[in-house]
């Protein structure tokens, strides 16, 4: 199966000032966030991307647009950005737009930290963290299968999303309960790479904020028989290398 690069959007003024933005409209990248997105786009330029999927919120759309603006030698024209609400931010309900320094005094804060699988955010549009994880996983898995069908199992694609959403997807990939997802750090414009094999996910990297990405280039295709192709694909996509490999 392909490899998905889970990318958090760049920094916003809400991030910098400690405000829980949620689905508040008009929250855009600040100057630092735009610099982060530009640097991210340069890093990604070495990779051909089969698809760029993004949360519909402005900060993710701006980050995705920065990626499309910097094509690389292996892909002169980037694919168009496709929006998917399922990888949008958690619906924080009445917590939306409030300062974190105020929210830490709410009794629900400790539940969010210690037992997030039990959390349903207050208010008419409040969402449970379990529902957020489920919809995000459904989206990632469906897009991964679609990319595989259209571009092959060596393809690399991008999902631009939000901190809590990416942490929830990574927790699942690591085989961890949602209650452990607060142990995972996802920084602005970081890259976390996951490869979904037929039998289990492999977490290739987490919270990567710098360095060369050329190691994720699809391997050159070699001419093999159909039988050997199937054997090689099964071994490379599903089996962990004993001893760690090269």
Q: Which two tokens stand for residue 20?
A: 């829980």
Q: Which two tokens stand for residue 178?
A: 């949602």
Q: Residue 119: exposed, middle, or buried by beta-carbon count in 10 A (0-12, 13-18, 19+)?
A: buried
Q: Residue 187: exposed, middle, or buried by beta-carbon count in 10 A (0-12, 13-18, 19+)?
A: middle
What is the residue-level pLDDT of the chain in tens, covering all 246 positions? 899 999 999 999 999 999 999 999 999 999 999 999 999 999 999 999 999 999 999 999 999 999 999 998 889 999 999 999 999 999 999 999 999 999 999 999 999 999 999 999 999 999 999 999 999 999 999 999 999 999 999 999 999 999 999 999 999 999 999 999 999 999 999 999 999 999 999 999 999 999 889 888 887 766 544 544 443 444 455 676 666 666
pLDDT at 223: 54
pLDDT at 74: 86
Is residue 216 assigned to a domain? yes
Under 8 Å between Cβ of 207 and 167: no
Residue 81, SS3 per DSSP: strand
pLDDT at 232: 44
For residue 72, the enclosing domain spans 3-238
Report how far residue 236's alpha carbon sits from residue 153's, in angstroms, rounded to the nearest whole number.
Answer: 11
Indicate if the alpha-carbon torsion angle 132, 133, 138, 140 is positive or negative: positive
Closest CA to 94 of 119, 116, 122, 118: 122
pLDDT at 96: 98
Is residue 244 assigned to a domain? no
Q: What total of structural domains would you count in the chain?
A: 1
Report how far residue 212's alpha carbon sits from residue 192's, in angstroms, rounded to the nearest whole number.
Answer: 14
Is residue 15 assigned to a domain? yes
pLDDT at 179: 98
Under 8 Å between Cβ of 140 and 84: no
Is residue 246 assigned to a domain? no
Is residue 143 assigned to a domain? yes
Q: What is the DSSP letter of 84?
A: -
Is residue 87 assigned to a domain? yes
Is residue 8 assigned to a domain? yes
CATH of the domain at 222: 3.40.50.1240
Angle ∠(153,61,34) on CA atoms, nearest 5: 110
Report how far residue 57's alpha carbon sits from residue 146's, in angstroms, rounded to the nearest whole number.
Answer: 23
Residue 113, H or E segment? helix 107-114
| pTM flag (> 0.95) | no
């Amino acid at each position: 199966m392909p490899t998905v690069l889970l990318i958090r959007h760049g920094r916003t003024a809400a991030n910098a000032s400690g405000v829980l933005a949620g689905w508040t409209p008009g929250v855009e990248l600040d100057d630092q966030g735009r610099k982060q997105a530009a640097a991210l786009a340069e890093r990604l330029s070495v990779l051909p991307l089969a698809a760029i999927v993004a949360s519909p919120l402005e900060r993710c759309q701006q980050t995705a647009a920065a990626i499309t603006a910097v094509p690389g030698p292996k892909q002169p024209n980037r694919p168009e950005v496709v929006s998917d609400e399922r990888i949008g931010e958690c619906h924080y309900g009445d917590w939306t737009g409030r300062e974190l320094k105020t929210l830490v005094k709410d009794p629900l804060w400790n539940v969010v930290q210690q037992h997030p699988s039990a959390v349903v955010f207050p208010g008419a549009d409040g969402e449970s963290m379990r529902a957020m994880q489920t919809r995000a996983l459904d989206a990632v898995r469906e897009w991964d299968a679609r990319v595989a069908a259209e571009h092959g199992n060596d393809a690399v694609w991008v999902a631009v999303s939000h901190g809590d959403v990416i942490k929830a997807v990574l927790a699942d990939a690591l085989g961890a309960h949602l209650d452990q997802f607060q142990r995972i750090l996802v920084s602005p414009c970081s890259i976390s790479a996951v490869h979904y094999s037929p039998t289990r996910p492999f977490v290739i990297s987490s919270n990567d904020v710098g360095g060369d990405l050329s190691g994720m280039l699809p391997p050159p295709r070699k001419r093999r028989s159909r039988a050997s192709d199937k054997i090689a694909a099964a071994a490379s996509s599903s089996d962990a290398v004993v001893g760690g490999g090269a």
